[in-house]
Amino acid sequence: MTESAPPPLPDDNRQALCQVALACRKAALATSLDGRPYVSLVTVAFDDDLSPILLLSQLADHTRNLAADGRAALLLDGTDGLDNPQTGPRVTLVGVAAPDDAPRLRARFLDRHPGAREYADFADFAIWRMRLDKAHFVGGFGRAVWFDAPLVRT
């Protein structure tokens, strides 16, 4: 699938972080099992304050990990198409995930991932929201900054 070129990155790091994150429909979710790191693919939507919204199956390893320890990190990768991805932008969101059955979150996830309507009602699936504690923006070499939450005033 051919993607159009991403828009230029804003000079402001906080704006750039939000732009890179919001452009992503998938992400790498880091969880831990007894302190041992694990990472897996998830599809993602965002709440107004950039809190990630996930649709997770109880059958997946990452969901069992989060049920035991909700601490998580999410990598949003804006480097597709670059010969050296190290030169491109990406965001790590760090926080704590928990199930959240607010209809607003479910609607937002399904708006962004209409294909998930096929299985979102299965008994093993639930919406989780990740409350953010901090975020790391890397814009390429020499451009990296940590932010504390809130990232976005709502």
Q: Which residues of the shown chain bind its own copies in the complex (CB under 8 A)? A: 1-2, 25-26, 28-32, 35-41, 43, 61, 69, 71-75, 77, 79-81, 83-87, 90, 92, 94, 113, 115-116, 119, 136, 138, 141
Cβ 54 to its own copies shortest distance, Å: 11
Shortest distance in whole angstroms from residue 136 CB to its own copies: 7
Least Å distance, CB 110 to its own copies, is 12
* Closest distance of CB 100 from its own copies, Å: 19
Of 18 and 54, the one with the shorter C-beta distance to its own copies is: 54
Q: What is the DSSP string of 3-41?
A: PPPPPPPPSSHHHHHHHHHHT-SEEEEEEEETTEEEEEE
Cα→Cα distances 151→58, 74, 80, 131, Å: 29, 15, 24, 11
52 in Cβ contact with 27 (< 8 Å): yes
58's tokens: 């109880």
Closer to its own copies by Cβ: residue 121 or 154: 121
Q: Find out whether 42 and 32 touch, Cβ atoms under 8 Å.
A: no
What is 88-107 written as a DSSP string? S-EEEEEEEEEE---HHHHH
Residue 48 vs 107, nearer CB to its own copies: 107
Instruction: State the nearest-atom distance from the C-beta of 41 to its own copies, in Å.
Output: 5
Q: Which helix (H) or strand (E) holds 138?
A: strand 125-140
| Identity of the residue, 37 or 150, whose beta carbon is nearer to its own copies in the bound complex | 37
